[in-house]
Amino acid sequence: MYTQIDQGGPSTKGDGMEHVVDAYLESPPSTRQSNTSCDTASDPILALFSITPHQFAVIGNVRIKKLARAVLADLASEECKWPTSVRVAAWKTMKEFSRIPASSLALSDEAQVQRLIRVLISFRDRLHSANETSTSKDDSEVEQLDLALRVLNNVLFQQAESRQIFAKSIDGIRCCLDLLENPGTPMIVFLSARLIFYATLSPSNTLREAVQSTQLVEVFTIRLSALLQQPQSSEVEMAEAEILKAFFNVGLHLPRMTETKNGNQAGEEHFDEVLLPFLAPTVRLLADVRRRNGTPELRSPYTNAIAVLLNFPVYPYEETWRTGLLLVAVDDTQHTEMNGKMAKLRSSSGGGSESDRSSTTSAMSRSRKAASAFFRSPFNRQSSQKNVHLPNSESPLLKTLLDMVDTFCKKHFSGKDIDDHHATRNEEEDLQAIGEPALLLLRKLANGSEKFRLIAKSRILPESIDRKIGLDKREDLTGILIRLMGSQNYPRLARASGEALLAICGGRASQMTAEIGYGPCAGFLTNIGQAHAVPESEMKDSSGRPIDPITGKVLPTTEEMVRQDAESGFSQMTEEEKEAEAERLFGLFDRLDKTGIIKVDKSSNPMQKAVDSGRFQEIDEEEDEKKLEEANKEDEELEASVEREMRSYREKQNRTVA
């Protein structure tokens, strides 16, 4: 009845496609669901599942909406008798429906979203049952779960309203967390975490409940720690990135919700200590970049980890930031508390479905095992505080972060002029979105810990840095960050780099101008309202040579000045040219003094010295005499011109009269 083309799909010639669709929709659900045929090519009802994706374009919107709902209802029915091969084919068809706007919209209402959630719960229960009985997982079952997760993800991606429906479902979030605890593949982790990401895009009561009653933080912590120990692959990195993205939402919204409820202390950083366990594996992920990837680049999942860390305070968790270890008490108080919290996982029905309540016992058992494994991990526990500590001067996280910023800056901003290349608006936004969080994290670490500040300063502004040229002329990370402060095309990077440099200088603008020079910092300091900040005292380099407060480079010696004069041609200038240049510079210096940008003692002002020495008086007298001569000459020329005009006028009048 049906001919196959395009890898087994039925022919679309004539009314073939319409017959396939009508045959399915016009069959009663009980008839369709009781079908046990495995031949999707020739069976008039199941032939729908062999249609290739591009052929769905000929189906009208009304029909494809009905079709998507009908197929999902059949797959979700407990009465459905389809063989495994047919169910896999049907889920592949549902995946294509979830990508098409019309059918995706049909799957986005509350009834269909809840139906998809119930399907996921049934998959979870069957997989967990296999785990409890130590039987091997059915690969086709894992494949169907993967496809069902993709269907729901596609619907939530395309239809914003459906995200709110899923976000209110504690059953859906609980199911995803269960799948994170015992995933079949890294892709299952990715897809489950993506659903939680959608559910946490905005603050909600369900988010608070998910953290308090389903132990979201602990599950995420355990799963990320486990992923860090797996061989690296693109799927593993995708799973890590998605867990980090979802946790970023949690870390962003939960503290603000808690503070709104309990009252917020002004000036305090938004943070809820319940999030603390996730800090350790996130730090380790960044600190271990070189072993995992070789090159420290700002890319996913490392940029996602940086975003997560921005929600954590440095103090009083500096040791965890430095070592990547979650310190626990010797008496295992936290261990006991965590075990207890994990044992309560899904213990209350909370309006959950029947399948949730039936799986409570096994879930509690899995949670106890996961909690114990988490605290036994050498990455997370310092038994009796006797683990080997890193030297105080070391911080793998900060070193990696600096390497990443270095690689990023040299790759995109190696030119002398940051804005001197043609980038599209999208490219500029992308670069700012990638680089800004890393610079903000550098600022956060320098502001939060004196140890971290000194480590960063030793890398960017060491005491032994060569100051023979201005620091803003350097080609290394130091020079690029300083030049970035003046960028017009990248305002977010300009601000972030300036704030990072200011933090490295102890948060004091006067120290920043002393280290770098007022000139390169002037624009940034003006933008933050500290244009008056000048070095508090004369600065010298490591060899004791004085530093120019404007340029940041060492002042030249007498021999260097003679050589520079010869090279610049200054020594060949006439006295009048030298005096004119000196007067211009003195005028500029005087304006800076009057505007308050630079304040110095009058006795050290070179302009004032020139006046006191009488040199300016000499110049003034010469100028006056010269101006007087020029004025007299102009008067004489004017009188001669007037006389000529008068003579001409009289001659003209005489000719007219005659």
Task: Look at residue 569 and tell me whether its pLDDT is greater than 90.
Answer: no
Tell the burial category of 409 from Cβ atoms under 10 Å away from its Cβ (0-12, 13-18, 19+).
buried
Q: How far is CA 97 from CA 80, 121, 304, in A?
A: 20, 21, 31
What pLDDT shows up at residue 462?
Answer: 92
**Residue 101 and residue 158 in contact, taking contact as beta carbons nearer than 8 Å:** yes
State the average pLDDT for the chain.
Answer: 79
**Residue 380: pLDDT band with limits 50, 70, 90:** very low
**Residue 643: pLDDT band with limits 50, 70, 90:** low
What whole-number distance in Å separates Cα of residue 365 and Cα of residue 116? Answer: 27
What whole-number distance in Å separates Cα of residue 40 and Cα of residue 51? Answer: 9
**Residue 307 and residue 248 in contact, taking contact as beta carbons nearer than 8 Å:** yes
**Residue 251: pLDDT band with limits 50, 70, 90:** very high
Over residues 261-289, the pLDDT tens digits come to 554 444 457 788 899 999 999 999 999 88
Average pLDDT over residues 5-26: 62
**Residue 523 and residue 510 in contact, taking contact as beta carbons nearer than 8 Å:** no
**Residue 379: pLDDT band with limits 50, 70, 90:** very low
Question: Which residues neighbour 359 within 8 Å (Cβ) at sequence distance 6 or greater?
Answer: 124, 125, 128, 178, 346
Structure tokens at 91: 């889920």
Structure tokens at 545: 């040579």
**Residue 160 and residue 108 in contact, taking contact as beta carbons nearer than 8 Å:** no
**Residue 244 and residue 197 in contact, taking contact as beta carbons nearer than 8 Å:** no
Question: Which residues neighbour 77 within 8 Å (Cβ) at sequence distance 6 or greater?
Answer: 29, 33
Collapse the DSSP code of 547 into the 3-class scheme (helix H, G, I; strand E, B; otherwise coil) and give the result: strand
Element spanning 9, H or E: strand 9-10
Residue 544 is classified by DSSP as S
What pLDDT shows up at residue 208?
Answer: 87
**Residue 232: pLDDT band with limits 50, 70, 90:** confident
Q: Which of 153, 124, 117 is nearest to 141 (CA)?
A: 124
Element spanning 10, H or E: strand 9-10
Q: Where are the alpha helices (DSSP H) in 205-233?
A: 205-213, 216-228
What whole-number distance in Å separates Cα of residue 523 and Cα of residue 525? Answer: 6
What pLDDT shows up at residue 506?
Answer: 94
Task: Look at residue 111 and tell me whether its pLDDT is greater than 90.
Answer: yes
What whole-number distance in Å separates Cα of residue 504 and Cα of residue 474? Answer: 18
What pLDDT shows up at residue 290?
Answer: 80
Domain extents for the chain? 159-260+273-385, 396-505, 558-612, 620-658
What whole-number distance in Å separates Cα of residue 595 and Cα of residue 493? Answer: 29
**Residue 415: pLDDT band with limits 50, 70, 90:** confident
Over residues 443-489, the pLDDT tens digits come to 999 999 999 999 999 999 998 888 888 899 999 999 999 999 999 99
Over residues 171-230, the pLDDT tens digits come to 999 999 999 988 878 999 999 999 999 999 998 888 888 888 888 999 999 999 999 998
Looking at the chain, the whole-number percentage of residues with pLDDT higher than 70 is 74
What pLDDT shows up at residue 614?
Answer: 53
Over residues 362-373, the pLDDT tens digits come to 333 443 444 444
pTM of the model: 0.76
**Residue 573: pLDDT band with limits 50, 70, 90:** confident
Longest dimension (CA), the chain: 137
What pLDDT shows up at residue 561?
Answer: 67
Angle at 219 between CA 217 and CA 220, to 5 degrees: 65
**Residue 435: pLDDT band with limits 50, 70, 90:** very high
Query: Residue 230, CB half-sphere, CA atoms under 13 Å: how many?
Result: 17
When comparing pLDDT for 174 and 381, which is higher? 174
When comparing pLDDT for 166 and 344, which is higher? 166
Point out the least confidently predicted range of 55-69, 244-258, 371-385, 500-514: 371-385
Collapse the DSSP code of 356 into the 3-class scheme (helix H, G, I; strand E, B; otherwise coil) and give the result: helix
When comparing pLDDT for 597 and 342, which is higher? 597
What whole-number distance in Å separates Cα of residue 270 and Cα of residue 274? Answer: 12
159-260+273-385 — its CATH code?
1.25.10
**Residue 138: pLDDT band with limits 50, 70, 90:** confident
Q: Where are the alpha helices (DSSP H) in 77-138?
A: 84-99, 101-106, 110-132
What whole-number distance in Å separates Cα of residue 453 and Cα of residue 490? Answer: 25
